[in-house]
Structure 1
């Protein structure tokens, strides 16, 4: 590691110092600029690269039977603008399909729309049928999850 950092730093320092002195600077300026050049190269070479992590990646500590679905879903819920990401919406849609199928309803069937809206509410129905160009907000997704919880309690 030292040779990888100090070798190029000393070489650049000597080259800069001699070049500055050769072109007419005083010896003190040549030494000062040589030290600055050597320090800059030493810092640049000592920085960790992408393949050298600053600290090791910590694996989550999970006990037997533990799952991290809630943690992963929490990070997948919102984008930078506060809209729900497609991955999270797809998971909520899967839950909705299961809950509605228990009542004989199909989320994607237009014939079941009125029954689903009366069961979940219009806002939850619109949230479940959002598309990529108009993703719902976090509050709309939470309202949809609350409506799905009420459906589960009624069963």
Structure 2
């Protein structure tokens, strides 16, 4: 039992004994004084019980599912419709796609020695448009169109 519970129990017992003594002084028979003291102790004990767990809310909240927005919707919101500037989320995602597609060809987007071959494959200015300060929506479309023109491994074998 916690210290607080012990203190409350001792105080309750002292109040019960005081009530018993007062009732005896007033001339109440001892059996009735004991009954009143026990009744007081029973009321104190009953009111100390936790009948309802206050931490539990009813009805319980439904479990919240991990809500993840789709990548497409996140990227769509990353493009400013007023200015047409693509956010860093879109630019990084497109750069990742370009890096993977070029890696299949043995090219590295960050290697200056590969830049002439990348420009020949994607088109003039396409590679540079991904590294501009403000990448426009039209630049993203141009990069994606250039990637679509690169044949994939399955297209080359068929």
Given the two structures, how large is their TM-score scaled by the length of structure 2?
0.50
Runs of 4+ displaced beyond 4 Å: 152-155
How far apart are 1:87 and its partner, in Å? 1.5
Determine the structure 2 residue equivalent to 1:128.
130
Return the offset for 1:138. Answer: 0.7
- State the aligned residue count: 90
Q: CA deviation at 1:149?
A: 1.6
Which one is further off, 121-130 or 72-81? 72-81
- Which structure: greater helix fraction? 1
Q: What displacement does 1:118 show?
A: 0.3
Deviations 1:90-149 (CA, angstroms, capped at 9, x unpaired): 11000000000000000000000000000001221111222xxx2121111101111112
Report the secondary structure of 1:82's partner residue. Answer: coil
* Separation in structure 2 between the aligned mates of residue 116 and residue 78 of structure 1, nearest angstrom: 28
Instruction: Work out whether residues 100 and 107 of structure 1, in 8 Å CA contact, stay in contact via their aligned partners in 2.
Output: yes
Shift of 1:152: 4.5
CA contact (8 A) 2:85 2:136 kept: yes
* Cα-Cα RMSD: 2.6
SS in 1 for 2:150: helix
1:139 paired with 2:141, answer: no
Q: Which has the higher contact order (CA 8 A, sep 6+)?
A: 1
Q: TM-score, normalised by structure 1?
A: 0.51
Q: Distance in 1 between matches of 2:105 and 2:80?
A: 30
Q: Which runs of 5+ in 2 are unaligned?
A: 1-63
Contact 1:83 1:135 in 2 (8 A): yes
Q: Is there any run of 5+ residues in structure 1 with no aligned partner, and where?
A: 1-58
